[in-house]
Chain A
């Protein structure tokens, strides 16, 4: 019983990290319609930024977080303005942008390795200690509770932003129908700018939390990206709240699945779920966009 409860909690913690990655990814995807795999490197870059500012340079922790989120947002904007937009202007299709994003990912992975070395880095802000034991045999650390809370708050804010603000509504309009949106005078490039800014800022938050909760290595982005992407698809990649829920479903499925199956199947469970969703519910749990079928 306690094992089941603990696994559910583990699923939530894993899910919240996936969800932070997936939310930014799906925001960018829904307004731009191409797979921005370099989103994973935004997370890693943010993590290393924390390491550099806080652990090496001794900047106060909260200032570090603020600078990191800001720089992450700018990093995302720079990728859009310097690489993707020029390619789009030259008439590149979305698959070319996908390859370009992989190129960006490889480039920064290796630059980070040259700058910081291939070893594992720890932030060391919080002493590693035994978690708090809750009734029902659940153990959680304070940081994990904080992560759940922060991601919860961010998701609510994001939802409010998408529903209530003009910018958020414009973003949804673009993601629903580009042509119609441009007819009513929504500037697509400006919307893309903002989606990269906000999406990458979310990656920054994810990077900070991952850096605190786990550790840093140059290659961690790929894994996070694949899982965030899987979660986004399961939930509905075109709809941010959907991709958040999908990520939690994924986290749960992975952690509960290996209670029954050998743990080597953890990734297999995740990808089978992805595959099954695409076969039977390609728009994801909450995905709204119809018309993707070859009717």
Chain B
């Protein structure tokens, strides 16, 4: 027992030293030139891993292109958990000495990490968190995706203008689903439309048959889906076909993942109210680099990286300087025109994307 105790105490002490020791080895300035460390964080495991990886790939693309000699990239997994996000941010801030971080994707994780970034004057740019709470998260907190309110109003307007009056909502019972569906519901009823069904499901679940049966029974003209786990998206689109719902299907950008295209003819004609669509140029670049269609949030992450790269190229080296540069800059990025307002939010553009012949096609408005 005694040897065991000593063994474990030694292990823990080694752990402390090991996690501390790295702070010294990775401090900038070894090569003589001042190195700037940029962090990328997001969910690479857990239900939202597909989006996390897409954002990471998108951001890496920008850094690879720019190939700045004085920038080091560190990547941290946050598992879509709040505690992990806070830990990852703390680690990157004090061990890697990051000046800017691209992430997180999940709003909850971004909100948990934001106070740490703010306190340590580290810029944080989220490529995907759409919660309205993030606008107030702090001066150093930016995002390259517009908040839920913008997309909600756009979606409600689109469906209203297309003459629909009976809308069914089906959304993940999480921050993103509730936030966006709430705004759509408000806007759509304000315009005189009717919400005939309001159904939710647990993130990651794959059995929505009864929710869909209720929706079918309410005879909607259109269904709006808010989903942020691809397995649920695929399952529910499939079940919509199987259960025989004829209503038109609209959805948020979470539906824009390659795996839904595998469902074939049954997903033809689905309309996605996509925020800040990626440019043709970016799609091509992404295709060349990773041999697949750019998934949701890749372009937004690319732009977040571009913004940081531009700030660094303008001579910014600290979080504070990068922050100031971000509020000044304006550029046409992969996901549209990027200009941060005083809340660190972008205006963003919205387009409709339709599934046609097994591909996502952007509609010209």
Footprint of B on A, CB under 8 Å?
2-3, 6-7, 10-11, 13-14, 110, 113, 118-122, 124, 127-131, 133, 139, 141, 144, 214-217, 219-220, 223, 254-256, 258-259, 262-264, 266-267
Contact = CB atoms under 8 A, between A and B. Distances in A.
B210 A259 contact: yes
Given A3-B213, A3-B214, A6-B213, A131 B242 contact: yes
B242 A214 contact: no
Nearest to B292: A119
A215 B262 CA distance: 11
B192 interface: no
Interface stretch (B95-103, B112-120, B122-130, B233-241): B233-241
B259 A119 contact: yes
Chain A CB within 10 Å, residue with most, of B199, B213, B217, B262: B213
15 contacts: A3-B213, A10-B210, A118-B53, A120-B50, A120-B233, A122-B262, A128-B238, A129-B241, A131-B244, A133-B244, A214-B207, A217-B204, A256-B210, A263-B199, A263-B210
Contacts of A256: 210
Given A118-B49, A118-B50, A130 B244 contact: yes
Nearest to B201: A263
A6 B217 CA distance: 10
A215 B206 contact: yes
A234 B259 CA distance: 36
Lowest 7 CB-CB distances: which A-B pairs, in order?
A: A118-B49, A10-B209, A217-B231, A120-B259, A255-B210, A6-B213, A3-B217
Contacts of B182: none
A120 B213 contact: no
Interface centre among A13, A128, A219, A220 (most CB of B within 10 A): A128
B235 A214 contact: yes
Contacts of B230: 119-120, 217
A142 to B, nearest CB: 10
Nearest to A122: B262
B263 interface: yes
B46 interface: yes
A70 B207 CA distance: 28
Interface string B256-284: 01110011101000000000000000000
B300 interface: no
Nearest to B47: A219
B242 A124 contact: no
B113 to A, nearest CB: 21
A219 B204 contact: yes
Tell which of B198, B200, B210, B238 has the most Cβ of chain A within 10 Å.
Answer: B210
Contacts of B49: 113, 118
Contact of B263 (A122, A130, A139): A122
Contacts of B241: 128-130
B50 A119 contact: yes
A254 B202 CA distance: 13
A7 B213 contact: yes
B213 A14 contact: no
Contacts of A130: 241-242, 244
Given A7-B213, A263-B200, A263-B201, A215 B244 contact: no
Given A3-B213, A128-B266, A217-B230, A262 B200 contact: yes
A263 B197 CA distance: 11
A120 B244 contact: no
Contacts of A10: 207, 209-210, 213
B341 interface: no
Contacts of A113: 45, 49
A120 B231 contact: yes
Contact of B234 (A120, A255, A266): A120
